[in-house]
A and B are shown apart, each in its own frame.
Chain A
Amino acid sequence: MKRALWIGMAGAMAAATWLVAQQPAATPAADETPTTLGPAASGGGTTFEDGDIEMPDPAKFHKEPGYSPYAGRRYPERPYFGDEHVHTAWSVDAGGFGTTLGPEEATRFARGEEVVSTSGQPVKLGQPLDWVAVTDHSDGMGIITELKAGNPELLADPTLKKWAEMMKQGPKEATAAVMEIIKGQATKSLPGPMMDPKFAGTVWKRNTAIADKYNEPGRFTAFIGYEWTSNYKGGDNLHRNIIYRDGKDKADQVLPFTTFQSEDPEELWKWMAAWESKTGGKLLAIPHNGNMSNGRMFALTTLGGDPLSRAYADTRRKWEPLYEVIQMKGQSEAHPSVSTTDEFVTNYELWDKGNLTLTGKKPGDLEHEYLRDALVNGLKVEQQVGSNPFKYGMAGGTDTHNSLTAAEEDNFFSKFPVAEPRPDRWNEVVVKNSGQVMKGWEVTAAGYTAVWATGNTRAELWDAMMRRETYATSGPRIVVRFFGGYDFTKADVSRLPAAAGYAKGVPMGADLPAAPKGKAPTFLVAALKDSHGGNLDRIQIIKGWIDAQGKPHQHIYDVVWGDAARRKIVNGRLTPVGNTVNVKNATFVNSIGDPELVTVWKDPHFDPRQRAVYYARVLEIPTPRWTDYDTAYFHVKMDPKVPLTTVERAWTSPIWYGPR
């Protein structure tokens, strides 16, 4: 017994000794440490003045008249597809869950190169992306990789050492460790080294170096970015991805903003303003997963409980041009309990059991979590205070945590290494908390952002995002044009909608000019199916408005559909397109629907005194969901409640109307 004790003690001492004896591996030279801006990590702090509010004007952007008709064609000719939301091994949770692929592999994969996944499976995108933003969590960026590698500087901390050991013991213990880390973050009790700016500086510089190395103007854009991960009150999702327009030279000057500094988005915007004035560069933020914010993402009060002011609305709109409407943790476009007449959101990729810890929702929360409601409520706030806080365009990202932005249904590598292709992955627990469970099959194979930019460079893509000339897709590379104006007619339904669109109207993301007397808004909308995907079922235009009593409304119009000869609107509903999916083999045929749809639509219920917002939604015919490809490939039988088909879709940024 004594001997055992002695050996045990000696073992512990020897281990501790070894850990302490190592020289720090990641100590950067002090003079190279980037600055931290904003409140100190301890809380409290400095405030910065907002810069001048300078809104982009998409209506004017493409119209610079000149003599030459060809020179006038400055408009974007093709959409550039990418993912603004990718986590790698350098994210605390991703690394903790076992991901070994870092930002370099993530970027190579997005460019279309073959990589070997964490679980050892070779994987390659069916269609390469045009751009990517690796957005690892700023809180403790890179810490897990270093922890697992045994960085002695970190292991000197007893808590970090404990976590490092748990991560080696097996997946169960590793998960427990990550849960402790997430909890530690929420309760502000993370060990000191995780918040050490010196360490963060080293990792950040390595991160930006990789983005610069793979950024090839004209061929592939690698944005510098990070995610600011505010789990307000211990789990209400207020996350934002920060996308840099510039390169390493500017990004390295300041460390990313962390939630150790503040969990309040208003502080983040102050930080962004301070960053821009210090570096002369440009930043934008993309919030996501309002569906897990328990009513906070689009609340009509600030976190402090004050009503939304004009200044708040101006600031939020300035920094946040886009909202991520779909990703692996479900869609945040509209919830069936609020949008009761929308048959296409019923059972469509809903993650609505609670916030990030699956703590349940209070009545009314669901009305402040989804973008469609926010778009309408934004009009109301604008009416009240003179500025719209929720003027969001559409973005889509994966939020992958295994470095693989694989949103294709037939090529889905899911969110974590443990959920990479395996026969049982559909039935395994993904999140379990507060007595609630989310299972593997509920993870969504989505999404991407399409950007109508004049070229594939950081500046051009970023500028297009800033003017909201973007749309989101659940994965497919559908091409969508959407223009608003007062003079579109059926004659504009041509093979070149962009020519008429830019000449006579404004593109997605813009404001309609004042309505000429007696005229209602008209919209030119066109969609071309993904050359590798399903035909199109229909295009819808979704209108939101505020009536004279200040009440919010929404209505969905089916404006053009495939197989037009055999389908019509019965009792306000378009007859379904049908379904060709062979579930057994996970196949479908494009014998229904149309490869492309285009039309001009005029708002039949326009009232020039009412503020309104319009966006287009394009729906594909039903195709196999990733669960169906798994069923066919692994010969597994899933629970009947698991959906095996899906309706892929695209959502355009809205076009707004306001009385002048």
Chain B
Amino acid sequence: MSAETPTSARGAAAAGTKVPGRLRRLLREPMLHFALVGVTLFLVHAWVAPNGATGRRIVVDRGVVEDLAKQYEATWQRPPTARELAGLVETYVHDEVLYREGLAMGLDRDDPLVKRRVRQKVEMLAEDDPSAHEPSEAELSAFLARHAAQFTRPAVYSFRQIYLGEVATREEAERLATAARAELARGRSPAAIARPSLLADQVTAEAADQVARDFGDTFAGELATARPGAWSGPLRSSYGAHLVRVTAVQPASVPPLQEVRTDVAREWARDRRERSVRERYAALRAGYDVVIETGRPTGTL
């Protein structure tokens, strides 16, 4: 089967070119067709005949017969009878004869179905990287190091917050914050000062992205700049203003491999697969001289 590859590849490369109008009439000439078919037949024959795959000899070997029988059995849940097997073999020969004739006429070219199928096969081959293997610890470590951002665990905060209520302006937030600080200084408890709210007044070991989901992005951003141990604020959340005292911060960090091994292995395999497909295509495309002729404006990719 490998013998048809050169013809298909060239056929595909030629297919993209557009034909000017005057030429088109000429191309409709039956004689020209005939000549072209003849030339093609000759060329194809010359290229592939020595290989035998599209030659005039069809060998139905034991392996083929076994395959036919097995396929039959899978469908009908019993082996074929001798007569049925003869029918299967004859169908195979029938297929093969017309397939070779069709290839010889170049009927596989410009057939979107054929093209798509062959492309898919080639891509599958590219995915089935012969050097594919279970990743080693070293490979995973290297992958983790290279894609550290992807696996970074966000900073983790523990904090207390005093909800000061909804505010319309920055000034209002400042005013409420100043008043609350004064009350704290007088020894009143945070719970007594805070406006009642469903928001947690004490947050223990929560990741920054979760803080952002619970309090809003602005709040999470400002929390990162709050000095641990002291009451900071006013911080602005989606709900209003807050005084915040950060009690513990665990900075963002890349976890050790053993903690994220499954994730890293999954992403490693995915990355490898995608890269393999991409690189092989790039290499193949580089081997082609692509000429695009169009009257339409096209952008760059």
Physical interaction between A and B: yes
Q: Mark B86-109, 1 if CB is under 8 A from A, else 0.
A: 000001000110110111010110
Determine whether the beta carbon of A165 is less than 8 Å from that of B113.
Answer: yes
A14 at the interface (CB under 8 A from B): yes
B253 at the interface (CB under 8 A from A): no
Determine whether the beta carbon of B113 is less than 8 Å from that of A10.
Answer: no
Q: Mark A119-146, 1 if CB is under 8 A from B, else 0.
A: 0000000010000000000000000000
A595 at the interface (CB under 8 A from B): yes
Q: A164 to B214, alpha carbons, bound, how many Å?
A: 48
> Which one of A17, A479, A596 contacts B95 once the chains associate, using CB atoms below 8 Å?
A17
Q: Which of chain A's residues have a CB closer than 8 A to the CB of B239?
A: 528-529, 531, 595-596
Q: Which of chain B's residues have a CB closer than 8 A to the CB of A216?
A: 262-263
A641 at the interface (CB under 8 A from B): no
A524-542 residues with Cβ-Cβ distance < 8 A to B are: 526-532
A487-514 residues with Cβ-Cβ distance < 8 A to B are: 493-495, 497
Give A29's nearest chain B residue, CB to CB.
Answer: B74
Determine whether the beta carbon of A18 is less than 8 Å from that of B30.
Answer: no
Nearest CB on B from A25, distance (A)? 9
B168 at the interface (CB under 8 A from A): yes
Q: How large is the interface on B (under 10, 10 to 19, 20 to 34, 35 or more residues)?
A: 35 or more
A436 at the interface (CB under 8 A from B): no
Nearest CB on B from A476, distance (A)? 12
Determine whether the beta carbon of A531 is less than 8 Å from that of B95.
Answer: no
Determine whether the beta carbon of A24 is less than 8 Å from that of B71.
Answer: yes
Q: Mark B23-35, 1 if CB is under 8 A from A, else 0.
A: 0000000100100
Determine whether the beta carbon of B198 is less than 8 Å from that of A479.
Answer: yes
Q: Which of chain A's residues have a CB closer than 8 A to the CB of B263?
A: 216
A1-33 residues with Cβ-Cβ distance < 8 A to B are: 3, 10-11, 13-15, 17-24, 27, 30
A372 at the interface (CB under 8 A from B): no
Determine whether the beta carbon of A18 is less than 8 Å from that of B99.
Answer: yes
The answer to whether A14 and B197 touch (CB under 8 A), given A150-B116, A531-B213, A532-B216, is no
Determine whether the beta carbon of A21 is less than 8 Å from that of B99.
Answer: yes
Q: Which of chain A's residues have a CB closer than 8 A to the CB of B79?
A: none
Q: A14 to B110, alpha carbons, bound, how many Å?
A: 13
Q: How many positions in chain A have a CB within 8 Å of any CB in the partner chain?
A: 49
Determine whether the beta carbon of B198 is less than 8 Å from that of A15.
Answer: no
Give A214's nearest chain B residue, CB to CB.
Answer: B266
Q: A11 to B237, alpha carbons, bound, how many Å?
A: 68
Q: Which of chain A's residues have a CB closer than 8 A to the CB of B112?
A: 168
Determine whether the beta carbon of A17 is less than 8 Å from that of B102.
Answer: yes
Nearest CB on A from B250, distance (A)? 17
Determine whether the beta carbon of A20 is less than 8 Å from that of B266.
Answer: no
The answer to whether A596 and B197 touch (CB under 8 A), given A17-B102, A18-B99, is yes
A565 at the interface (CB under 8 A from B): no
Nearest CB on A from B173, distance (A)? 14
Q: Which of chain A's residues have a CB closer than 8 A to the CB of B266?
A: 213-214
B127 at the interface (CB under 8 A from A): no
The answer to whether A18 and B213 touch (CB under 8 A), given A10-B102, A216-B263, A495-B201, is no
Determine whether the beta carbon of A477 is less than 8 Å from that of B213.
Answer: yes
| Max chain A C-beta neighbours (<10 A), residue from B105, B213, B217 | B213
Determine whether the beta carbon of B108 is less than 8 Å from that of A149.
Answer: no
Give B240's nearest chain A residue, CB to CB.
Answer: A595
Give B260's nearest chain A residue, CB to CB.
Answer: A216
Nearest CB on A from B163, distance (A)? 9
| Max chain B C-beta neighbours (<10 A), residue from A14, A22, A164, A527 | A14
Q: Mark B157-198, 1 if CB is under 8 A from A, else 0.
A: 000000000101000000000000000000000000000111
Determine whether the beta carbon of A494 is less than 8 Å from that of B168.
Answer: no
Give B194's nearest chain A residue, CB to CB.
Answer: A495
Give B91's nearest chain A residue, CB to CB.
Answer: A20
21 CB < 8 A contacts A-B: A10-B107, A14-B101, A14-B105, A20-B95, A21-B99, A150-B120, A165-B113, A168-B116, A213-B266, A527-B198, A528-B199, A529-B238, A529-B239, A531-B212, A531-B215, A531-B237, A532-B238, A595-B238, A596-B197, A596-B198, A596-B239
For the A-B complex with A23-B67, A24-B71, A495-B199 known, give 20 more contacts whose Cβ atoms are closer than 8 Å: A10-B102, A13-B102, A15-B113, A15-B114, A18-B102, A20-B91, A22-B117, A148-B116, A150-B117, A155-B113, A164-B113, A198-B74, A213-B266, A528-B199, A529-B239, A531-B212, A531-B213, A531-B215, A531-B237, A596-B198
